[in-house]
Structure 1
Amino acid sequence: MPANAMSSPAPAVHYLSRCTVKPPPLPPKRCHLTPWDLAMFSLHYIQKGLLFANLPPSLSTDQIIDRLKSSLSTTLLHFYPLTGRFVTEEAHDENQKVIGIFWWIDCNGEGAEFIHAIADKVTVSDVLSPSDDVPSFIQSFFPLDGAINHDGHTQPLLAVQLTELADGIFIGCSFNHAVGDGTSYWNFFNAWAQIARTKGVAPLSRPPVHDRWFIDGYDTAPIKLPFTHPHDFIERFSPPPFREKIFHFSARSIAQLKARANQECGTNSVSSFQALTAVVWRSITRTRNLPADQKTSCRLAAENRSRLNPPLSPAYFGNSVYPIAATTTVGELLNHGLGWAAWLLNRTVADHNDSTIRGRLMAWMARPMVYRQSGFDRFSVLMGSSPRFDMYGCDFGWGKAVAARSGSASKFDGKVTSYPGWEGGGSMDLEICLVPKSMSMLETDDEFRSAVCPPLEMEVLLHGTSWYS
């Protein structure tokens, strides 16, 4: 049973074909992994995708698939680590006892998987379901469901599925999170769309940077991990049933939250995202009816590239992200106002700087570890993804997507995934996962409801005219 079993039963998705897409021949390369990459090995693949409607009637499905495959092959030439597989090497002592392992990517051009599926009973409107929970059938639009990053030893590091709907298509990707983070994922997706749209004529607007970044004092040799067997770190986490719903926030609503938060704490440095996150943290915590002395955290996926000195390129292809946490007690969080919580988040973000990042890397090198999803604090909230990712800029040549959606990967009670709003201008969408009781209470929470806006009307999405200011 899927984790978000509260949704309606899944319509049938029929798999018509699958093949391997390879880049043009390349010399074999070995890609070493950084601490940021290695820490991801027990987590899920990234699963994100885009929904397209109103495709040109002159464009057949076969033509779409041919273009996607050929452009994917060219794109993989630039993003060659995605064509490889992970390799494990054992380290032995003088008695040939295993004392550790090394991981690296064999960029051997083995290729990515491409799947063609059809769900002809599903419409674009069914996928959007603007007033309902996210339909559980969307999980079947993503390949490698349930895969963790370590599975990239035998599974492709990238798998793509095109699903035909009754009146549109959905392109879902499963992307190994030990190869790259959300920034890397959307850089790849946009590059693929650009190559498909221009037929590869124009140079990439943001070619990937593949030189792996290592902390000063360490070379690029493989890092020995203190494990002797995958059982030492692998976990296949299954959360209890939860509800999953998308909430829309207009640019105007978010601007009002930002102004209120800054006014309450006497500053102008609280960002739009910090103000919205503070509302979400407070509202979700309120639904849980926890004791006042219970500690609670709001964890943010913080980008490291721009915070390093000197900064990493925005096109750096790999992982460069850390979870950072603002922590307080339930009583403190709820007894103070929005501005207090937003300022706590603001200070947490401000403290995540070059010195902090390097300190965390040094600590990891002294004691390597792999993240476990079961270790997430059930009294807290985790904000993933980013409204800054250019999801709606992925134009394959048939227009702007009408929605972005995600698969079942890395979801649990308290997980919030952020997206840019379809209409732009600073609007945002939040995909929130909560146990059923908490979700029902969130839907009626006064502070949360006052910030949420009606979802965009279907006509707006399909015909491209926004009525939001």
Structure 2
Amino acid sequence: MENAGNSSFQLRVKQEEPTLVTPAEETEKHLYFLSNLDQNIAVTVRTIYCFKSDAKGNEEAAKVIKEALSKVLVHYYPLAGRLTISSEGKLIVDCTGEGAVFVEAEADCRIEEIGDNTKPDPITLGKLVYDIPGAKNILEIPPLVAQVTKFKCGGFVLGLCMNHCMFDGISAMEFVNSWGETARGLSLNIPPFLDRSILKSRNPPKIESQHHEFAEIEDISETSKVYKEEMLYSSFCFDPEQLKQLKEKAMEDGVLDKCTTFEALTAFVWRARTQALRMQPDQKTKLLFAVDGRSRFEPPLPKGYSGNGIVLTNSICRAGEQLEHPLSFTVGLVQTAVKMITDSYMRSAIDYFETTRARPSLAATLLVTTWSRLSFHTTNFGWGEPIFSGPVALPEKEVILFLSHGKERKSVNVLLGLPASAMKIFERLMHV
């Protein structure tokens, strides 16, 4: 179930000088509002899309993708701007039309030689995404940076660095798919809805819920010391049969009458991680995960809402409680956290940030982020769908990522990093 990496391989990539791709037509120049849901996750996310080429070759790839970017930026013009700080001390986009950064590159090998790219590998895969030299913070990194790397086999990789404050997973995929549609001469299937002021905080703010996602938990188990060890990254693949067994295991004691794949898998990995990090029984452990709020807002967010429509929910329990009880106990905690996400809770979270400017604390916390429902595999610039797509690295050491896998996308890859001693235990616990 575990995938080991190809450690002896050294990828060599020659990058050309970066250029700026501006929108193909004149676009609005103004300051563009980012909601409090955008403010909360202003981290860069690096992803890659690997395309094989049989007959078509990769000679035209960079040209086609670059021209399509210029056209699609007309619809997504804030991406051609620059992040700055508003008079209120918040992130805002200055829509200058300067353009996205675009880099052409060449690798000295075949695409297959990259090896196992199902697990985060910042060293190898990081070479496929352009880093802005000397950037000290996110304000010095344009919202969109793209690199097209040609391989000797005729295949190519599109590597993207995007700021999470511009998109959540759903809107990022809508953007990349729109870019692909533009490259194929099609009109946009889902045009973006750009006005984020529909998620403005209320005046005056109304905090109607408790927001434990921001709570700082004391690390009485001193897990921060364990994290000084070497970090190991792994991916564990759960096929449909294993996912079915996991759901059955969650319901076998009769406490729950139903449970989703996400709930069972999240509970399973949360429990295993608590065990692997050898948390003391009285150690509180927090689970954070994002719920798509698009359909849960009243009224629902418009189709094509281009921004973060996700809201963090949470659950907190003692490590001992988790391990003394069967899996159904932890699944129940996950289910309660999902149910918490109502319009009232989400509006309250927006107002909470407005009042406190707090960021969720990650001490003694697991942050599960699920990309398994995202349509990464449908991106098509004219060379068919990618043979692989996914993240270059995990944004934080506390993150576990779920990614759909396999031809029919029915399997789930669980990606994570843990200190070496904890990873040994975690691997043992991954057998369903």
| TM-score bin (small chain) | 0.7 to 0.9
**Aligned residue in 2 for 1:50:** 49
Query: Which moved further from structure 2: 305-314 or 390-399?
Result: 305-314
Relative to structure 1, is the Cα distance of residues 263 and 78 closer, same or farther in structure 2, using a 3 angstrom cutoff?
farther
1:302 is paired with a residue whose SS is strand
Q: Is the counterpart of residue 358 in structure 1 residue 347 in structure 2?
A: yes
**Aligned residue in 2 for 1:402:** 387
2:378 is paired with a residue whose SS is coil
1:449 is paired with a residue whose SS is coil
Match of 2:76 among 75, 79, 83: 79
Tell me, in whole angstroms, the C-alpha distance in 1 between the residues paired with 2:379 and 2:151: 19
Residue 255 of structure 1 aligns to which amino acid in structure 2?
A: K
1:185 is paired with a residue whose SS is helix
Show structure 1 runs of 4+ deviating over 6 A.
145-149
Relative to structure 1, is the Cα distance of residues 326 and 166 closer, same or farther in structure 2, using a 3 angstrom cutoff?
farther
**Aligned residue in 2 for 1:436:** 420
Match of 1:204 among 162, 185, 188: 188
Q: Deviations over 1:181-237 (max 9, x none)?
A: 2222111111111222x22xx321111111112347459xxxxxxxxxxxxxxxxxx
Tell me, in whole angstroms, the C-alpha distance in 1 between the residues paired with 2:33 and 2:327: 44
**Aligned residue in 1 for 2:65:** 68
Tell me, in whole angstroms, the C-alpha distance in 1 between the residues paired with 2:133 and 2:169: 18
Q: Quick check: 1:10–1:136 contact (8 Å CA) kept in 2? A: no
Tell me, in whole angstroms, the C-alpha distance in 1 between the residues paired with 2:133 and 2:313: 25
Q: Deviations over 1:152-203 (max 9, x none)?
A: 3x4321001112234332211111122222222111111111222x22xx32
* Aligned-CA RMSD value: 2.7
Over the matched positions of the two proteins, sequence identity in percent amounts to 24
**Aligned residue in 2 for 1:464:** none
Residue 30 of structure 2 aligns to which amino acid in structure 1?
A: K
Tell me, in whole angstroms, the C-alpha distance in 2 between the residues paired with 1:437 and 1:443: 10
Relative to structure 1, is the Cα distance of residues 345 and 116 closer, same or farther in structure 2, using a 3 angstrom cutoff?
same
Query: Which moved further from structure 2: 388-397 or 296-305?
Result: 296-305
Deviation at 1:89, TM superposition (A): 4.5
Q: Which runs of 5+ in 1 are unaligned?
A: 91-99, 220-238, 451-469
Match of 1:162 among 124, 131, 148: 148
Tell me, in whole angstroms, the C-alpha distance in 1 between the residues paired with 2:188 and 2:357: 36
1:58 is paired with a residue whose SS is coil
Q: How does 1:319-338 map to 2 (within 5 A)?
A: 319-338=308-327
1:276 is paired with a residue whose SS is helix
Q: Is the counterpart of residue 108 in structure 1 residue 92 in structure 2?
A: no
Deviation at 1:75, TM superposition (A): 1.3
Residue 378 of structure 2 aligns to which amino acid in structure 1?
A: G
Q: Quick check: 2:80–2:144 contact (8 Å CA) kept in 1? A: yes
2:424 is paired with a residue whose SS is helix
Relative to structure 1, is the Cα distance of residues 32 and 149 closer, same or farther in structure 2, using a 3 angstrom cutoff?
farther
Q: Quick check: 1:128–1:403 contact (8 Å CA) kept in 2? A: no
Residue 51 of structure 1 aligns to which amino acid in structure 2?
A: C
Tell me, in whole angstroms, the C-alpha distance in 1 between the residues paired with 2:342 and 2:86: 34
**Aligned residue in 2 for 1:21:** 21
Q: Quick check: 2:313–2:340 contact (8 Å CA) kept in 1? A: no
Relative to structure 1, is the Cα distance of residues 7 and 302 closer, same or farther in structure 2, using a 3 angstrom cutoff?
farther
Relative to structure 1, is the Cα distance of residues 173 and 359 closer, same or farther in structure 2, using a 3 angstrom cutoff?
same
**Aligned residue in 2 for 1:117:** 105
Give TM-score scaled by structure 1 length.
0.79
Tell me, in whole angstroms, the C-alpha distance in 2 between the residues paired with 1:31 and 1:218: 20
Relative to structure 1, is the Cα distance of residues 291 and 6 closer, same or farther in structure 2, using a 3 angstrom cutoff?
farther
Tell me, in whole angstroms, the C-alpha distance in 2 between the residues paired with 1:195 and 1:110: 20
Match of 1:343 among 325, 332, 338: 332
Q: Deviations over 1:237-265 (max 9, x none)?
A: xx854121222111222122223323435
Q: Deviations over 1:315-340 (max 9, x none)?
A: 21112222222211111111212222
Give aligned pairs, total: 402
Match of 1:421 among 395, 405, 413: 405
Q: How does 1:13-412 map to 2 (within 5 A)?
A: 13-24=13-24, 25-41=26-42, 44-53=43-52, 55-59=53-57, 61-90=58-87, 101-121=89-109, 123-128=111-116, 134=121, 136-144=123-131, 151-152=138-139, 154-167=140-153, 168-196=155-183, 198-199=184-185, 202-212=186-196, 213-215=198-200, 217-218=202-203, 241-369=230-358, 371=359, 375-377=361-363, 379-408=364-393, 410-412=395-397
Residue 209 of structure 1 aligns to which amino acid in structure 2?
A: F
Query: Which moved further from structure 2: 7-16 or 270-279?
Result: 7-16
Deviation at 1:7, TM superposition (A): 5.3
Q: Which runs of 5+ in 2 are unaligned?
A: 205-226
Deviation at 1:129, TM superposition (A): 5.7
Residue 191 of structure 1 aligns to which amino acid in structure 2?
A: S
Tell me, in whole angstroms, the C-alpha distance in 1 between the residues paired with 2:276 and 2:403: 23
Tell me, in whole angstroms, the C-alpha distance in 2 between the residues paired with 1:122 and 1:242: 28
Deviation at 1:395, TM superposition (A): 1.7
